[in-house]
Amino acid sequence: MKTETLAIHAGNLVKSNTGDVTQPLSLSTTFFRDENGGYPGGHMYSRVSNPNRSTLEHLLATLDKGADCCAFSSGNAAGMAVFQALKPGSHIIAPDDMYWGFKKQLQTIFKESLDIDFVDLTNVEQISSFIKPNTVMIWVETPSNPLLKITDLKALGTLAKQHKLILACDSTFASPMLQHPITLGADIVMHSTTKYIGGHSDVLGGALITAKQDELWARIRNIQQIGGAVPSPFDCFLLVRSIKTLPYRMRGHCSNGMALAQYLDQHPQIEAVYYPGLPSHPQHEIAKEQMSDFGGMMSVLIKGGFEEAKQVVNKVKLFAQATSLGGIESLIEHRASVEGPDTKTPGNLLRISVGLEHVDDLIADFNQALSEL
Ligand SMILES: *Cc1c(COP(=O)(O)O)cnc(C)c1O
């Protein structure tokens, strides 16, 4: 079946005896045993598994073409489960512009236990020079945050296979609609479900999808169930509900994103637009190859500096000045001041999450904000 159909029907496995058309919210933390001590409902205790979470996991594994999925209470918890599953002393190659929350985990929580190199992963050829005897994993994020850099997943998958390394991909900016890293060689895909998958800025969550049920995956499932950083049934219910419209929401984000990027690209007050859908993007050809469309995330450099960028975020009215991304409402953010004093993000960079308002209104809003510079 096609994606739009799966998004609606792959999440409707559980049939209740009250005739509900959509799966009800099941809040029970514990489940009946039968005379032989078994669990006829398939669940024992809701941290281990529960009906709403199992449905979400099945749905996400289906949409991302994987074998299984573990859902977590946040994207950060999902990523952390991967790092926790590695043996102490393991070496990881991670992107130099890795999502800052993961960079922070690796530099603080895993400082003593893991060995990490932050590398520009857009240059796949030079990655092999960082591989050491204790290297076990390459972690990639594409499109990356906040510069929307694209890494060639197929080339990276081949390199990882050659060196028997795990390839993990943070695919949050693409969502399961725009790319399928598993089909290009990734072993694990990570999503912050807080973003496009949730899509309404009202659920926090994360997910990992595996290509195969191997020993690493067993360790990750154990970390999920015994570590306990799990989403609540209500979070899972909301995510399953949101995924039903994900294919159509992503189409809107992509077409609004492209139109806004093209408008900003020709504006005299804009120094640069980072959007993988523009032919001027350095990895546009790779993006065209591995993504079905380019999403609603972009960053722009405002001519001038920090002051001019701040003026623009304060002048726009439809773009809420707030962090996060992937929701139906447009957001704008001055990244450098969010990331703090040790950031490498340029002071005149604004990150934009294009929402589902009419694009004419979004363009008009930017037009008035930029005209006063
Ligand atoms: C938001 C985000 C995360 C972290 O997810 P949370 O749900 O906020 O914990 C990880 N990677 C990327 C690319 C993100 O945008």
For residue range 30-39, what is the model confidence (pLDDT) as tens digits?
999 999 999 9
Question: Is there a contact between 14 and 23 (Cβ–Cβ < 8 Å)?
Answer: yes
In angstroms, rounded to a whole number, what is the distance separating the alpha carbons of residues 105 and 122?
Answer: 22
pLDDT digits over 210-248, tens only?
A: 999 999 999 999 999 999 999 999 999 999 999 999 999
pLDDT higher than 90, residue 343: no
Find the mean pLDDT for residues 96-114.
Answer: 96
pLDDT higher than 90, residue 15: no
Known catalytic residue at 263: no
pLDDT higher than 90, residue 336: no
Tell me the CA–centroid distance for residue 142 and ligand 1, in Å.
Answer: 13
Q: Which atom of ligand 1 is nearest to the CA of 205?
A: 7
Q: Which atom of ligand 1 is nearest to the CA of 325?
A: 15
SS3 of the chain: helix, strand, coil, percent, to 5? 40, 15, 45
Known catalytic residue at 87: no
Q: Which among 47, 154, 241, 303 is annotated as catalytic?
A: 47
Residue 49 CB less than 6 A away from ligand 1: no
Known catalytic residue at 161: no
In angstroms, rounded to a whole number, what is the distance separating the alpha carbons of residues 289 and 142?
Answer: 13
Per-residue pLDDT, 324: 94
Question: Is there a contact between 181 and 150 (Cβ–Cβ < 8 Å)?
Answer: no
Amino acid at 93: I
Residue 101 CB less than 6 A away from ligand 1: yes
Q: Atom 8 in ligand 1: which residue has the minimum CA distance?
A: 75
Q: Which atom of ligand 1 is nearest to the CA of 144?
A: 13
Q: Atom 6 in ligand 1: which residue has the minimum CA distance?
A: 75
Question: Is there a contact between 300 and 309 (Cβ–Cβ < 8 Å)?
Answer: no
Q: Atom 4 in ligand 1: which residue has the minimum CA distance?
A: 75
Q: Which atom of ligand 1 is nearest to the CA of 102?
A: 10
Residue 192 CB less than 6 A away from ligand 1: yes
pLDDT interval class at 14 (50, 70, 90)? confident
Pocket probe mutation, ligand 1, options 141, 194, 325, max atoms within 8 Å of Cβ: 194
Tokens of 260: 């806004």
Adjacency order of strands within the sheet including 331-334: 270-274, 297-302, 349-353, 331-334, 320-321
Label residue 233 exposed, middle or buried (CB < 10 Å: 0-12, 13-18, 19+). Answer: buried
Residue 41 CB less than 6 A away from ligand 1: no
Find the mean pLDDT for residues 305-331.
Answer: 95
Helix, strand or coil, per DSSP, at residue 285: helix
Q: What are the CA-CA distances from residue 112 to residues 108, 127, 268 (Å)?
A: 8, 23, 48
Q: Which among 97, 99, 196, 310 is annotated as catalytic?
A: 99
Q: How many helices (H) and strands (E) does the chain have?
A: 13, 12
Would you give the DSSP letter of residue 276? T
Per-residue pLDDT, 344: 81
% residues pLDDT > 70 (the chain): 100
Tell me the CA–centroid distance for residue 169 and ligand 1, in Å.
Answer: 12
In angstroms, rounded to a whole number, what is the distance separating the alpha carbons of residues 25 and 61?
Answer: 21
In angstroms, rounded to a whole number, what is the distance separating the alpha carbons of residues 175 and 190?
Answer: 10
Per-residue pLDDT, 10: 92
Residue 204 CB less than 6 A away from ligand 1: yes
In angstroms, rounded to a whole number, what is the distance separating the alpha carbons of residues 61 and 59?
Answer: 6
pLDDT higher than 80, residue 13: no
Q: Atom 11 in ligand 1: which residue has the minimum CA distance?
A: 99
Known catalytic residue at 33: no
Average pLDDT, the chain: 96
Label residue 170 exposed, middle or buried (CB < 10 Å: 0-12, 13-18, 19+). Answer: buried
Find the mean pLDDT for residues 52-69.
Answer: 98
Helix (H) or strand (E) holding 103, with range, is: helix 100-108
Q: Which among 53, 149, 195, 310 is annotated as catalytic?
A: 195
